[in-house]
Structure 1
Amino acid sequence: MAFKSLLASLVVVVAFLQASQAGVVNKRKTQCPGGSVHQAFNPACCTWFDVLDDLQTNVLFSTCGEASHSALRIVFHDAIGFSRTQKFGGGADGSIIMFGDTELEFAANNGIDEIAGDLKTVADAHGKSYGDIIQLAGAVGVANCAGAPRLSFLAGRPNATAPAPDGTVPDPFQPVDTILARMHDAGFSPDELVALLASHTMAAADKVDVTIPGTPFDSTANVFDSQFFIETQLKGLTFPGTGPNQGEVASPLVGEMRLQSDFALARDHRTACTWQSFVTNHTLMNQRFSDAMDKLSVLGQNTRHFLDCSEVIPHPHSLKVIPHLPAGKTMADIEPACAATPFPDLPTAPGPATTVKPVPPGS
């Protein structure tokens, strides 16, 4: 009898699972109200399609340009204002917009004021929280870049009640020990930090050197590929003399910016092998980046009542990734740092020596 009862129970469970799976498969989108052109699996996400349209039309321009780069940057600068040990900061709470008069004056947040103002305007127009608008814009900005992963988007963050303290954003001129300690305090491992730095594949610097705005961190800033992890491994040019840049190692590519933190992390024994693992594994890079961004997007938040509106995020265009050395460089120009495995053998792009073009403003 016990066996028959168990068998009957299993039949009920299997039937329930089959019905549940069928419900998922057969679930259809519903038309969003108000004459919207959008459809949603979850009608509660319909209002976010309106926000998406506003962002793409008036802020991000549906391109992998300066605005999309800035939208991803503000995600990190807002969320990293959090400490597990000292119990301060609300993490991904939009405080960088809510308390912009304070946080945008921090030296580390130089250059974020424009995207912060644009996102505030959109959030206010649609009655959305600043924490949510930052996360949506970051995910959409990433989706505008071919080859990128499709990030998730959860809605429901309340507006911040206090600003984050200064000093929570790692500085590109800090030692690796300092940067890793700050990230650890926020809950991120060295491997997760490297994954988050995949963001630099679509990044450019405006304020590190104001005389050369829009300077990319790799030679393909308009796509989401692994060239950043390759080009930071090239032997650099050391600044001579006694000036403020003495001893820093610049990119050997004309027109490319190399942050000192990126140079150091690419060569540190705690991060070098993870860094190198992304060079020829675009899928791994995207997955680790997505995982780290998921964690960052809810840092300091109680997600119990959050609404999953990931369906709002556009699907990025695919990209046939062929990792390569920039034109004019050979494997002899690589400075390997992972002791566990050799640096992969890469082809060199044809043509004259690579000159990296700046990202045009307002793109």
Structure 2
Amino acid sequence: MQCPYAFLWLAICAVLTHAGRCNDHARQSLRITFHDAIGRSSALWASGSAGYVYLCGGADGSLIKFSDLELTDPANKGLHDIINSLKHIADHYDVSYGDIIQFAGAVGFSNCPGATRLEFFAGRPEATAPAPPKLIPGPTDTAQATLSRMQDAGFSAEDTVILLGAHSVGREHTIDPAANDTPLDSTPGAFDSQFYLEVLLKGTVYPRKAPHSGEALSATKDVFRLSSDAAIARHPDTACHDDRMRSAFRKAMIKVATLGHRMEDLVDCSHVIPVPPPWNKTASYPAGFSTSSVERSVSLSSCPGITLPAKASEDTLTGLQYFC
């Protein structure tokens, strides 16, 4: 089947880009891809507590179609504008909400230097029911709660760590109004592994005076740290290499984008996604920080400037070491 999506390029660009920058529109378009897809639960389906509804869900556009319901979930705070923008485009061009969300995420992400070129598959039918409530992992969740929820949706601990890489381009907008727009790492304009290093640095300060629920101590006042990010980074089931990160993130995002669908029912339209600009810098310690500043529960072999002792065990490492 011929890809029907090339004609959307100009319309999407008008909404998601500003001189090709990795801006808030691009960030929100990436965020909504996950929030729309994660509303699927094998445990709820197995329990039979809600019938066929819980077999639905996944990347189906329910966050737009049933926005009146799903936006009441605090986890979806801040998505009103991107939902309204994408709904307008989808309605104008008569495409499904599930497709427009994943297309917008891939196009928006392509504006971020260092990003991997995400694949895009079209052909999702319209959602038939809203996503069940309370299925989106939140910043106050423990590491085990986050990993369990992700496993319930079909993602491994490794997938979870990899998908947190989206926070490399993230900014705080929903927890502390006084810290609005504070980045989640020191290079928010690029997709790189700096986030994975910085979230492990010992936290000593808050960007503003008072801590808020979902906020953890940060290493510097210029970076906002989510409690859930800090917890996952220090969990024994999670374990900084940019090329491997990009490749793994691309594969994990395919799982996100196709959650709830069969690949044979979709059409590959990846050729319409722009190639992201390069980013050649590697992760490095911020000024004043070094190996001794790192807090973690497993091996340090992949951190900048860190060498692994000869007798150290590799058994505690996951296959891809993103939390260095």
> Structure 2 length as normaliser, TM-score?
0.86
Residue 112 of structure 2 corresponds to 145
1:64 aligns with 2:31: no
Q: Could you say what secondary structure the match of 1:86 adopts?
A: helix
Residue 290 of structure 2 corresponds to 330
Do the aligned partners of 1:269 and 1:338 also contact (CA within 8 Å) in 2?
yes
| 303 and 250 in structure 1: CA distance in 2 versus 1, 3 angstrom threshold | same
Q: Tell me how large the CA RMSD over aligned residues is.
A: 1.9
Cα separation, 2, equivalents of 1:66 and 1:112? 11
Q: Could you say what secondary structure the match of 1:216 adopts?
A: coil
Cα separation, 2, equivalents of 1:342 and 1:157? 39
Instruction: Give the % identical residues.
Output: 41
Cα separation, 2, equivalents of 1:203 and 1:175? 20
Letter in 2 for 1:93: D
Name the larger-Rg structure: 1
Do the aligned partners of 1:97 and 1:130 also contact (CA within 8 Å) in 2?
yes
Cα separation, 2, equivalents of 1:345 and 1:288? 23
| 342 and 152 in structure 1: CA distance in 2 versus 1, 3 angstrom threshold | closer
Residue 300 of structure 1 corresponds to 260
Q: How far apart are residue 69 of structure 1 and its match?
A: 0.4
Q: How far apart are residue 343 of structure 1 and its match?
A: 3.7
Letter in 2 for 1:123: A
| 152 and 342 in structure 1: CA distance in 2 versus 1, 3 angstrom threshold | closer
Cα separation, 2, equivalents of 1:246 and 1:52? 39
Q: How far apart are residue 200 of structure 1 and its match?
A: 0.5
Residue 191 of structure 2 corresponds to 224
1:188 aligns with 2:146: no
| 136 and 260 in structure 1: CA distance in 2 versus 1, 3 angstrom threshold | same
Is the deviation greater in 93-102 or in 230-239? Answer: 230-239
| 115 and 342 in structure 1: CA distance in 2 versus 1, 3 angstrom threshold | closer
Cα separation, 1, equivalents of 2:288 and 2:14? 39
* Structure 2 residue runs without a partner (length 5+): 46-53, 307-324
Letter in 1 for 2:59: A
Q: Could you say what secondary structure the match of 1:164 adopts?
A: coil
| 248 and 102 in structure 1: CA distance in 2 versus 1, 3 angstrom threshold | closer
Residue 320 of structure 2 corresponds to none
Do the aligned partners of 2:16 and 2:104 also contact (CA within 8 Å) in 1?
no
Q: Could you say what secondary structure the match of 1:304 adopts?
A: helix
Q: How far apart are residue 59 of structure 1 and its match?
A: 3.1
Residue 289 of structure 1 corresponds to 249
1:269 aligns with 2:236: yes
Residue 349 of structure 1 corresponds to none
Runs of 4+ in 1 over 3 A off after TM superposition: 243-249, 339-344
Do the aligned partners of 1:95 and 1:130 also contact (CA within 8 Å) in 2?
yes
Structure 2 matches for 1:35-46, cutoff 5 A?
Answer: 44-45=2-3
The counterpart of 2:202, out of the listed 222, 228, 235, is 235
Residue 65 of structure 2 corresponds to 98
Q: How many residues align?
A: 293
Q: How far apart are residue 105 of structure 1 and its match?
A: 1.2
Do the aligned partners of 1:336 and 1:343 also contact (CA within 8 Å) in 2?
no
| 342 and 139 in structure 1: CA distance in 2 versus 1, 3 angstrom threshold | closer
- Once the two structures are superposed, residues 82-103 of structure 1 have per-residue CA deviations (whole angstroms, 9 ceiling, x without a partner) of 0122221420000000000000
Q: How far apart are residue 247 of structure 1 and its match?
A: 11
Cα separation, 2, equivalents of 1:322 and 1:162? 44
Q: Could you say what secondary structure the match of 1:237 adopts?
A: coil
The counterpart of 1:86, out of the listed 41, 44, 59, is 44
Do the aligned partners of 1:132 and 1:156 also contact (CA within 8 Å) in 2?
yes
Residue 312 of structure 1 corresponds to 272
1:170 aligns with 2:130: no
Cα separation, 1, equivalents of 2:138 and 2:214? 17
> Structure 1 length as normaliser, TM-score?
0.77
Do the aligned partners of 1:336 and 1:342 also contact (CA within 8 Å) in 2?
no
| 342 and 69 in structure 1: CA distance in 2 versus 1, 3 angstrom threshold | closer
Q: How far apart are residue 132 of structure 1 and its match?
A: 0.3
Q: How far apart are residue 340 of structure 1 and its match?
A: 7.1
Q: Could you say what secondary structure the match of 1:320 adopts?
A: coil
* Structure 1 residue runs without a partner (length 5+): 1-41, 274-278, 347-363
